[in-house]
Amino acid sequence: MNRAAARGNRLRYTRLFHREPALRATRQETAPAGLRLLALVFLPFAAGYYCSFLFRNVNSVVFPELTQQFGLSPGTLGLLTSAYFVTFAGAQLPLGLLMDRYGPRRVNASMLLVAAVGALVFSQATGMPGLLLGRALLGMGVAVCLMSSMTAFVIWFPREKTATLFGWMLLVGSCGALSATKPVEMLLRVMDWRSVFLLFGVLSVGASAAIFAFVPEKRAAKAGATLREQVSVIGMIFRCRDFWSISLAATFVQGVAIGLLGLWAGPWMRDVAGLERADMANKLLIVAVAFGVGGVCCGTLSDWLARHGVPPVLTYFAGNVACTLALLPIVLGINSGAIVYWVLFLGFSAFGSLSYPLLAARFPAEMTGRVVTAINLVTFSLAFAVQYGVGAIIGQWPVIDGRYAVEGYRAAFALCWVLQALSVAWLWHAERRAMRVCTD
């Protein structure tokens, strides 16, 4: 969609938001700037997002301990790990509303303490109920780590820098995912999995303290809109055609990648590629790095191309197409050079994150918290379906010597690929249709 159409979207909604608290309110006289602003805003939120990815992906390495100690089937393991995404997705809209009303600093700092409680509960679990509760609290506690940073970027930085900052934040997330691979495997040599989760809970408390202590506040105008009026905006977001064409592509590209990296990439490398645990952890570390590098590259590339006349939505589309093509060899179960396919798939999947600045630019800034959390709701609902659904499909084949059937992986991953390809095709159709309407 061209600039005129995007401007039309903002004007369409502006009348409903002029009474809301303005997150772009006048700057305090003592507000930081330059590198100091970058350090005070970016680094504390980065610490929280690091914890988010650490919690999200740790089960891809500790799953042998969990399956052995609690006797988990593939479907049950998928359900347990995906419980994170159920509460993660369910918390998006309420927390997005709170961020727009009270600011991302207070909301994120508070929720990271919930994540710390979840780590404690998980570490002390004696059965499936305790594991599910702990995992659910973890998902709820880190639900807005990335979205709060995106909201803060819109508040404090020019729009033309948000995609770049968002890309660097994804690199931080990949560091968390990276830490959940080989470093966790090495930790498990000197401590049990329960102690590992206690340690991660302490890190979550530290990130909460850093956000609360160091992130500056902007003095906002007093709220004029009622809660009912603010909630009604969420319905308007979901009725917007732009929202669905852009967010569903991100959902089926990034949501599938998150679901597979968070759990099933590890078992696939063990059962399909035939890797031992230490080698599997090394390969997961590499693909986690690829996700972070892809995040930095896609954000920086999008902003650079935009300055040279290339619409961000075109960069977004091209990256999603590349990700879809990279998944195909994994679906077919090709062992030779498997790590290359996983690196390409996870690297290009980061382009799905461009949906956040892309949609944020098509709505008033006062809606940013609700817009980006609405995307997250859709994306992580699918990530839950991927982790649980893949396990349920794999469970239809017999388990032999503790390993899952290659045919199960192929069937489950193929379904993910079909949905991904259809969503990217719809993005192309919707944007072309929008361009024709705008030029008529």
Is 303:160 a contact under the CB 8 Å cutoff? Answer: yes
More confident call, 289 vs 414:
414
Q: What is the pLDDT of residues 382-397, one digit of tens each?
A: 777 877 888 889 989 9
Instruction: Identify the three-state secondary structure at position 15.
Output: helix
Q: Among 32-41, 194-203, 302-311, which stretch is predicted with the lowest mean pLDDT?
A: 32-41
* pLDDT on residue 80: 86
Instruction: Categorize the per-residue pLDDT at 222 as very low, low, confident or very high, splitting at 50, 70 and 90.
Output: very low
Q: What is the pLDDT of residues 295-338, one digit of tens each?
A: 788 888 888 898 889 999 999 999 999 999 999 999 988 877 88
Rounded to an integer, the average pLDDT of 57-84 is: 84
Q: Which CATH number fits domain 3-12+39-214+223-439: 3.40.50.300, 1.20.1250.20, 2.60.120.260, 3.30.559.10?
A: 1.20.1250.20
Q: What percent of the chain has pLDDT over 90?
A: 30
Query: How many other β-carbons are positioned within 10 Å of the β-carbon of residue 346?
Result: 29
Measure the CA–CA gap between 368 and 8, rounded to whole angstroms: 17
The dihedrals phi and psi of 403, each to the nearest 5 degrees, come to -115, 145
Dig out the tokens for 210 from the structure.
Answer: 């850093």
Measure the CA–CA gap between 279 and 63, rounded to whole angstroms: 15
Q: What is the pLDDT of residues 336-352, one digit of tens each?
A: 788 899 999 999 998 98
pLDDT exceeds cutoff 70 at 226: no
* pLDDT on residue 384: 75
Rounded to an integer, the average pLDDT of 138-154 is: 89
DSSP classification of residue 279: H
Instruction: Categorize the per-residue pLDDT at 24 as very low, low, confident or very high, splitting at 50, 70 and 90.
Output: very low
Measure the CA–CA gap between 109 and 279, rounded to whole angstroms: 36
pLDDT exceeds cutoff 80 at 235: yes
**How many residues in total does the chain contain?**
440
Q: Which of 89-98, 139-148, 274-283, 357-366 has the highest mean pLDDT?
A: 139-148
Parse the chain into domains and list their residue ranges: 3-12+39-214+223-439
Dig out the tokens for 305 from the structure.
Answer: 């191309």
Amino acid code (one letter) for 294 = G
Q: What is the pLDDT of residues 167-197, one digit of tens each?
A: 788 788 878 878 888 888 899 899 999 999 9
Degrees, nearest 5: CA angle 428-163-181? 95
pLDDT exceeds cutoff 70 at 7: no
Among 85, 19, 7, 149, smallest CA distance to 385 is for 85
Instruction: Categorize the per-residue pLDDT at 291 as very low, low, confident or very high, splitting at 50, 70 and 90.
Output: confident
Orientation of helix 406-439 relative to helix 312-331, angle to 10°:
160
Measure the CA–CA gap between 369 and 234, rounded to whole angstroms: 10
